[in-house]
Amino acid sequence: YASNVMRMENSYFFTQSIKQRGPDATDLFQKQITGASAICKQSTDAYLGWMIKREFKAMHSLFSNISRIRKDVGDADVPIHVPRAQFVRTLQKESSREIMKEKIGVVYARMEKHLSESGGLLPVAWKALVKVLYEWFGRWEKLSTSCYKFILEPSAIDVVRIAKAASGVAMAPSNRKGVSESRAKNQSASIEI
């Protein structure tokens, strides 16, 4: 993931730096801006996929398995290979509203740690993550409904709302200061030990 973060930040910084110099510089470096934007998008997609797979490991594994089985045998036979009881048990354990809030909060905190404040990439990357969460959870909702007639809760729209709330609370200036201060205290405490 570290290489993706570096490519994301560097290409984003390059693009923003050139664009800030005005339309003449933007026109002159259009080919480089296009290339940097493509690198940024590719690295962002890889990083966000890694983040979701890491935090939602059980759900990703379950739905990847179901998707693979579905391609091989069709919707009707999926419950034979992944029993409904196992499916429901995994979802109950991994996808309650409170667990989602916690996991999405952890993802935000991790992104905040990985991305530099000065780069300005966190809000852009978070917006992209919310979009990817919506796509993945929407796909998982469809699989759940078509293979098991089970309604995934929280829904993809609810997951987006949870993510937006997580970023809204975390990005509030007063809370941001508290997070920075607590990080500084934690760093100084670890240095003293």
Q: Kind and range of the H or E element at 171?
A: none
CB 11 within 8 Å of CB 42: no
- Opening angle at CA 174, ends 168 and 177, nearest 5: 105
Is 22 strand, coil or helix? coil
Q: What is the DSSP letter of 120?
A: T
For 83-111, write each residue's pLDDT tens digit: 999 999 999 999 889 999 999 999 999 99
**Number of other CB atoms surrounding residue 63 within 10 Å:** 25
Cβ–Cβ under 8 Å, residues 99 and 124: no
Q: Rounded to 10 degrees, what is the CA torsion of 144, 141, 152, 164? A: 160
Distance CA 112, CA 110 (A): 5
pLDDT, residue 55, reads 93
d(CA 122, CA 109): 11
Give tens-digit pLDDT for 111-156.
999 998 888 899 999 999 999 999 999 999 999 999 999 999 999 9
